[in-house]
């Protein structure tokens, strides 16, 4: 029973968005000729960006906008993470 509750809680606490890292990185690799090295590096960088995003506090407006930006390029956590950084910095300068 505890395991079931943990799995449900984990699902509820995860980000509302989920990009397909394997598919995205395969597309990136294919775009440059099918390099396995590119795909491997992409996957690692996407995982790092996903972890970085999970640690950030962001307003819903920033999260929604940057999720759409990340999705627009095929579903990239790296792009979304960079967007969040830039949006939060711009928001702070507007005060």
Is 8 contained in some domain?
no
Tokens 């960079």, residue? 82
CB within 8 Å of 26: residues ≥ 6 apart: 39
Is 41 contained in some domain?
yes
Tally of domains in the chain = 1
d(CA 80, CA 95): 23
Comparing CA positions, the residue from 36, 25, 40, 38 lying closest to residue 78 is: 25
Is 79 contained in some domain?
yes
d(CA 23, CA 49): 16
Per-residue pLDDT of the chain (95 residues; tens, 9 = 90+): 444 433 333 333 344 569 999 999 999 999 999 999 999 999 999 999 999 999 999 999 999 999 999 999 999 999 999 999 999 999 999 98
User: What is the residue range of 32's domain?
Assistant: 17-93
Is 7 contained in some domain?
no
Is 2 contained in some domain?
no
CB 88 within 8 A of CB 62: yes
CB within 8 Å of 3: residues ≥ 6 apart: none
């Amino acid at each position: 029973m505890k395991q079931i509750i943990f799995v449900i809680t984990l699902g509820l606490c995860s980000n509302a968005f989920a990009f397909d890292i394997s598919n995205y990185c395969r597309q990136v690799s294919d775009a440059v000729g099918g390099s396995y090295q590119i795909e491997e590096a992409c996957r690692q960088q996407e995982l790092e960006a996903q972890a970085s995003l999970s640690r950030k506090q962001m307003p819903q407006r920033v999260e929604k906008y940057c999720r759409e930006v990340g999705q627009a390029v095929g579903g990239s956590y790296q792009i979304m993470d960079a967007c969040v950084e830039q949006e939060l910095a711009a928001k702070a300068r507007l005060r």
